[in-house]
Amino acid sequence: MGRRVLVAGAGAVGSVVGGFLAGAGHEVTLLGRRPHLEAIAARGLVITGLWGEHRITRLAAVAVGEELAGPYDAILLTVKSYDTAPMLAAVAPLLAADGCVIALQNGLGNVEQVAAAVGAGRALGGRVIFGAVVPEPGVVRVTVCADPIALGAAVAGVARAEELARAWAALFATADVPTEYTAALQSHLWTKVFYNAALNPLGALLERPYGALAADEDGRAVMDAVIDECFAVARARGVEPLVPDADAYRQLFYGRLVPATADHRSSMLQDLERGRRTEIEAINGCIWRYGRAAGIPTPVNATMTRLMRFRERRAEGRGRA
């Protein structure tokens, strides 16, 4: 039976997942910004790239301020991390009593906010490791896919949420969105944050692709230190990353992850170039805050965060000018 799904933040990730769910017969509403939604209302949503060519017409598109008709069986939270709180406040009341919110975002602290808003029994998250862009309104392109989405309960061991996560992981996969259930969502989210924390701000600050950062001995030294701090904070919080220690992670990082994305330009750099905010607070900023709370020094993550804040303020100024 088709489920009622609200995509809260219909940008790149939300449009791809929402589009495939609609294509599989679910009743999907996209909540987003006008130009994208108007193009979808006029011509349908076009999905291109790695997962084939599709035009999805069975989609409702709702812009901010318009009426939303809950309740929804699932609300996909697909805004950038800095928009998590206001978006949750707006959509949490629309969730069905037996529904769930699924955060599909990078960074730390998002699924915790979901659990606080709707209860741990209805709070799920996914580690997303496919790439998507919106090249023009109404069109999304899937650019890469390193692994299936790892979908699980925000808080491990909450039986109701784990049952919902199993069901929705199966439902995503049936709709052709590669997805697997995980009982260890936090391990997946943290391990992805290590990659983002090391590469994203440095790539933005130095304006160099990932391969160039790893090829430079000073770039490497900075990233090595970021990774050490991330592992120390994870350990202090009782998180078990997918890789046992910082040295093993660096082997994976320099041996496989960076070579596979050597030409990649940091998304934080792209945000700055557009005069927009970045997700620094949910990545290095969160490592810094969590470290401070646990008494773990994180000077390199703190410096990355401060430098990125400085760049954000400059980029905003240029945007306004």
| Contact call for residue 9 and ligand NAP (CB under 6 A) | yes
Query: Which part of the chain contacts ligand NAP (CB under 6 A), choosing from 7-15, 213-221, 293-301, 309-317?
Result: 7-15
One residue of 81, 187, 298, 301 binding ligand NAP per CB under 6 A: 81
Cα–Cα distance list, 70 to 9, 29, 90, 92, 311 (Å)? 16, 10, 12, 10, 40
Least CB distance to ligand NAP at residue 132 (A): 5
One residue of 21, 79, 198, 226 binding ligand NAP per CB under 6 A: 79
| Contact call for residue 87 and ligand NAP (CB under 6 A) | yes
Can you point out the beta strands (E) in 42-196?
45-49, 54-56, 59-63, 72-77, 95-103, 123-127, 130-136, 139-145, 149-153, 179-181
Query: Which part of the chain contacts ligand NAP (CB under 6 A), choosing from 25-33, 37-45, 211-219, 232-240?
Result: 25-33
Number of chain residues interacting with ligand NAP (CB under 6 A): 23
Cα–Cα distance list, 61 to 33, 37, 150, 266 (Å)? 9, 6, 27, 30
Q: Which among 281, 267, 263 is positioned nearest to 131, based on CA atoms?
A: 267
**Looking at beta carbons only, is 107 or 219 nearer to ligand NAP?**
107
Residues 6+ apart with CB under 8 A from 316: 275, 277
| Contact call for residue 315 and ligand NAP (CB under 6 A) | no
**One symbol per residue from 130 to 169: x for binding ligand NAP (CB under 6 A), - otherwise; what is it?**
-xx-x-----------------------------------
> Sheet containing 45-49: which strands, arranged edge to edge?
54-56, 45-49, 139-145, 130-136
| Contact call for residue 179 and ligand NAP (CB under 6 A) | no
| Contact call for residue 6 and ligand NAP (CB under 6 A) | no
Give the angle subtended at the CA of 308 by the CAs of 302 and 313, to the nearest 5°: 130
The single-letter code of the amino acid at 235 is: R
83 vs 223: CA distance, rounded Å: 27
Burial class (CB in 10 A: 0-12, 13-18, 19+), 237: middle
3-state helix, strand, coil in the chain (%, to 5): 55, 20, 25
**One symbol per residue from 36 to 75: x for binding ligand NAP (CB under 6 A), - otherwise; what is it?**
----------------------------x-----------
Contact between residue 137 and residue 43 where contact means Cβ atoms under 8 Å apart: no
One residue of 41, 73, 74, 105 binding ligand NAP per CB under 6 A: 105
Cα–Cα distance list, 180 to 169, 185, 249, 311 (Å)? 6, 11, 22, 37
The catalytic residue positions are 192
End-to-end CA distance of the chain: 51
Least CB distance to ligand NAP at residue 312 (A): 15
Least CB distance to ligand NAP at residue 173 (A): 18
One residue of 5, 6, 12, 115 binding ligand NAP per CB under 6 A: 12
| Contact call for residue 84 and ligand NAP (CB under 6 A) | no
| Contact call for residue 266 and ligand NAP (CB under 6 A) | no
One residue of 73, 162, 229, 279 binding ligand NAP per CB under 6 A: 279
Residues that bind ligand NAP (CB under 6 A): 9, 11-14, 31-33, 64, 78-81, 83, 87, 104-106, 128, 131-132, 134, 279
